[in-house]
Amino acid sequence: MFLSNLFNKKKSILGVDIGTSSIKIAQVSHTGKAVLETYGIVNINHQLGGREDYLAIQQMAKVLKELVQKAGVTTNRCVISFPNSAVFTSVIQLPKMSEGEMGSAVEFEAKKYVPLALSDVDLSWTLIGGGANADGLVKVLLTAVPKQVTKDYMRVFLLAGLDPQVGEIEALSLIRSLIGSVPINCVIIDIGARSTGLNIIESGFLRLSRNLNIGGDTITDKIAHALNISVFRAEQFKKEFGVSNSTFIPDAIRPILNIIKNEVKQLLTIYQPQNIKIEKILLVGGGANLPGIVEYFEDLKLSVEVGNPFNSLSYAENLQPILKRYSLNLPIAIGLALREE
């Protein structure tokens, strides 16, 4: 999963987030305070399916290369994310031990959590949570990416003229851009076009990441079917009315959002009794632009906010109106570009 040498903090880094319906990029300079230098978003109609699909790889590389050029990116060094749908993650507890021993122990434990042969995945791990507990156990984030997925993504970036430095899961990028080093307990809900990521954060560290195969496109399709209208028109209705009670649109939307809400309820039921008091919910992703969605999740009896990935960044003042429009789409790309090790 680690793709080359660590990068020089003083140089600019490009974060590249390839989602199910769009590619997002953000270039950040690491000289002093992080500065957003440029960004870009482009829609895509093809996906990498974890198989050797050379046409899809070439098409995606072409789109990415054009986006990088149009955005005026000045570096080829990038940090990349792997989609939640393609990654296996688990947080496990192990006795404190040396790094060499930990690597062997993690590989042994991984067989219980990864539904593929370990020879077919790129396995990585990192300690989280700030040290051993009273029982001498440490928390370890285990990540496994199918080798074919890594191979396909590497081909895309190389064909696009980029030099990937390291890859990570989306949840870690979201934590970096939305929370930083604040030791908060929260839920980050990332509503994408075709999937939704649910991430439980404990003291600023990832505790659990779960992926649902529903998203903004699912909502659009439901509206189109319910009203017997085109997908294009349904998308307009969704963006205009959202979950507002002033129209009949919510009747089509609620069943989808209820799946997300009920899943969050289950996660809260699991974690609240463990003395983990969740403080708030952060909403990001294109689906978080839905009018009325903040109020919709407030009956979970938690503070609900839309995430702001620009808190730890400086940027040109004239970019503010544009960035506000795309802020919920950029947290992963910005979090990737903020990575300093």
In contact, 16 and 79? CB cutoff 8 Å? yes
Please report the pLDDT score of residue 273 as a whole number. Answer: 56
- Structural domain including 129 reads 88-146
* Predicted pLDDT at 79: 96
Q: How many CB atoms lie within 10 A of CB 80?
A: 24
User: 200 and 301 share a domain?
Assistant: yes
Q: Is the same domain home to 243 and 300?
A: yes
Residue 30 placed within a domain: no
- Tell me 314's DSSP state: B
Q: For 138-148, write each residue's pLDDT tens digit.
A: 889 899 999 99
Residues 85-114, mean pLDDT to the nearest whole number: 88
The CATH number for 259's domain is 3.30.420.40
pTM (2 decimals)?
A: 0.89
What is the pLDDT, as a whole number, of residue 247? 67
Determine, yes or no, domain membership for 288: yes
Structure tokens of 241? 């009315």
If phi > 0 it is left, if psi is from -120 to 50 it is alpha, else beta; for residue 204 that is left
Q: What is the number of structural domains in the chain?
A: 2
CATH number of residue 92's parent domain: 3.30.1490.300
Q: Is residue 158 part of a domain?
A: no
Q: Does the residue 206 lie in any domain?
A: yes
Around 17, how many Cα atoms within 13 Å sit in the side-chain half-sphere? 30
For residue 77, what pLDDT is reported? Answer: 95
Domain boundary among 121, 146, 171: 146
Consecutive H or E run containing 258: helix 250-271
- Residue 341, in any domain of the structure: no
Q: What is the pLDDT of residues 128-180, one digit of tens each?
A: 876 777 778 888 989 999 999 899 999 999 999 999 999 999 999 999 999 98
- The answer to whether 318 and 40 have CB atoms below 8 angstroms apart is no
